[in-house]
């Protein structure tokens, strides 16, 4: 396939393929129709023959070339599969397109400082697992790092001190950036405000702009309520201190945090009584 793509990438060779699609032709005729010199045409035809897209045979004094449709059909099928994959309903491409539309809207709305202050988002979830188990997933580093990123990202640094005044650092990278050589996808810093184990957790978190300034402050409130089948989780986001440059961050809140909570729900559903990864030292642990 690589040899075929390389052969077809040259406009002159593509012209010869187009001519041979009509009927077999000799080198001399092909050179005339293509408006090229015969030695140059011969070289192009030899490249196409090595790629398997044409064959040739000598008839009398002339060498006749014929197009082989098989490799072209295989290439067309491969391209069709790529297009079908890109057009699949759902998945990361659709999310990316949705995010792009949100970006445009938020950038237009960001006219000056404080433009998004007062904006709020609600994220209700019915979760498997008791409030105590859910609480551990909200506050323990080893469990929190499993779900606290949108799809396609991974936690690269995490500090969560689950006490009033405790420090929060949340950094994440592309999930496929295995060695950390790509740019950081996002980093936020904050502080824990209220801790009521199994009932309520509140904190302030600010994404950092490329220059290190704060994009905005998110006031995040987690409320937990036991149910007959697990826990009802109600998360409320409220925005303050929004800067003009915060539009890109705010555009991703609804999609990104929603995906994170979906990961949390999936983790709890997989094992609602999970006790692995207990981490009581929230002050010092981080993951990279």
In CATH, what number is assigned to the domain containing residue 11?
1.10.10.10
pTM: 0.74
125 with 254, same domain: the answer is: yes
Calculate the average pLDDT of the chain: 92
Q: Does 137 reside within a domain?
A: yes
Provide the edge-to-edge strand list for the sheet that holds 230-240: 120-128, 230-240, 217-226, 200-207, 186-196, 167-174, 153-160
pLDDT value of residue 284: 38
pLDDT value of residue 95: 78
Q: Is the pLDDT of residue 14 over 60?
A: yes
- Whole-angstrom CA distances from 113 to 86, 210, 214, 216 are 38, 17, 12, 10
Query: How is the chain split among helix, strand and coil, in percent rounded to 5?
Result: 40, 30, 30
Domain enclosing residue 40, as ranges: 2-85
pLDDT value of residue 90: 67
Q: Does 133 reside within a domain?
A: yes
Q: Say if residues 41 and 34 touch (Cβ distance below 8 Å).
A: yes
Does residue 44 or residue 2 have the better pLDDT? 44
- Proportion of the chain above pLDDT 70, given as a percent: 93
Cα gap 166→205, rounded to integer Å: 12
Instruction: Render pLDDT for 88-105 as a digit per residue (tens, 0 to 9).
Output: 766 677 778 888 899 999
What is the four-CA torsion angle of 274, 280, 285, 287, rounded to 10 degrees?
Answer: 0
179 with 81, same domain: the answer is: no
pLDDT value of residue 271: 79
60 with 147, same domain: the answer is: no
178 with 227, same domain: the answer is: yes
pLDDT value of residue 273: 67
Mean pLDDT to the nearest integer, 40-45? 97
Instruction: Render pLDDT for 192-247 as a digit per residue (tens, 0 to 9).
Output: 999 999 999 999 999 999 989 999 999 999 999 999 999 999 999 999 999 999 99
Cα gap 7→201, rounded to integer Å: 61
Instruction: Render pLDDT for 105-151 as a digit per residue (tens, 0 to 9).
Output: 999 999 999 999 999 999 999 999 999 999 999 999 999 999 999 99
CATH number at residue 206: 3.30.530.20
CB-based burial label for 124 (10 Å; 0-12, 13-18, 19+): exposed
Residue 127: phi, psi to the nearest 5?
Answer: -115, 145
Q: How many domains does the chain have?
A: 2
81 with 144, same domain: the answer is: no
Q: Does 132 reside within a domain?
A: yes
Q: Say if residues 158 and 283 touch (Cβ distance below 8 Å).
A: no
pLDDT value of residue 86: 79
Cα gap 182→173, rounded to integer Å: 8
Q: Is the pLDDT of residue 177 over 70?
A: yes
Give me the residue label for tokens 């994959």. Answer: 85
Confidence band for 283, pLDDT divided at 50, 70 and 90: very low
253 with 118, same domain: the answer is: yes
57 with 122, same domain: the answer is: no
Q: Does 168 reside within a domain?
A: yes
């Amino acid at each position: 396939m690589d040899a075929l793509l390389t052969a077809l990438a040259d406009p002159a060779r593509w012209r010869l393929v187009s001519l041979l699609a009509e009927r077999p032709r000799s080198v001399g005729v092909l050179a005339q129709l293509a408006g090229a010199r015969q030695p140059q045409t011969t070289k192009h035809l030899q490249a196409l023959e090595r790629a398997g897209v044409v064959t040739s045979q000598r008839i009398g004094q002339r060498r006749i070339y014929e197009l082989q449709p098989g490799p072209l059909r295989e290439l067309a099928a491969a391209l069709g599969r790529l297009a079908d994959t890109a057009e699949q309903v759902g998945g990361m491409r659709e999310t990316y397109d949705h995010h792009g539309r949100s970006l445009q809207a938020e950038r237009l709305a960001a006219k000056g400082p404080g433009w998004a202050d007062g904006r709020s988002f609600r994220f209700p979830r019915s979760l498997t697992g008791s409030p105590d188990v859910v609480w551990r997933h909200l506050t323990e580093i080893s469990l929190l790092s499993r779900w606290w990123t949108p799809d396609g990202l991974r936690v690269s640094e995490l500090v969560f001190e689950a006490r009033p005044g405790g420090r929060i650092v949340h950094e994440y990278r592309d999930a496929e950036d295995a060695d950390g050589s790509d740019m950081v996808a996002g980093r936020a810093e904050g502080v824990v405000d209220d801790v009521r184990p199994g009932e309520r957790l509140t904190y302030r978190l600010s994404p950092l702009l490329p220059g290190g300034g704060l994009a905005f402050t998110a006031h995040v409130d987690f409320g937990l309520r036991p149910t007959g089948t697990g826990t009802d989780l109600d998360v409320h986001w409220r925005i303050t201190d929004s800067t003009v440059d915060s539009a890109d961050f705010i555009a991703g809140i609804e999609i990104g945090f929603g995906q994170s909570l979906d990961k949390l729900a999936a983790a709890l559903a997989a094992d609602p009584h999970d006790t692995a990864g207990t981490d009581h030292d929230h002050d010092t642990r981080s993951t990279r």
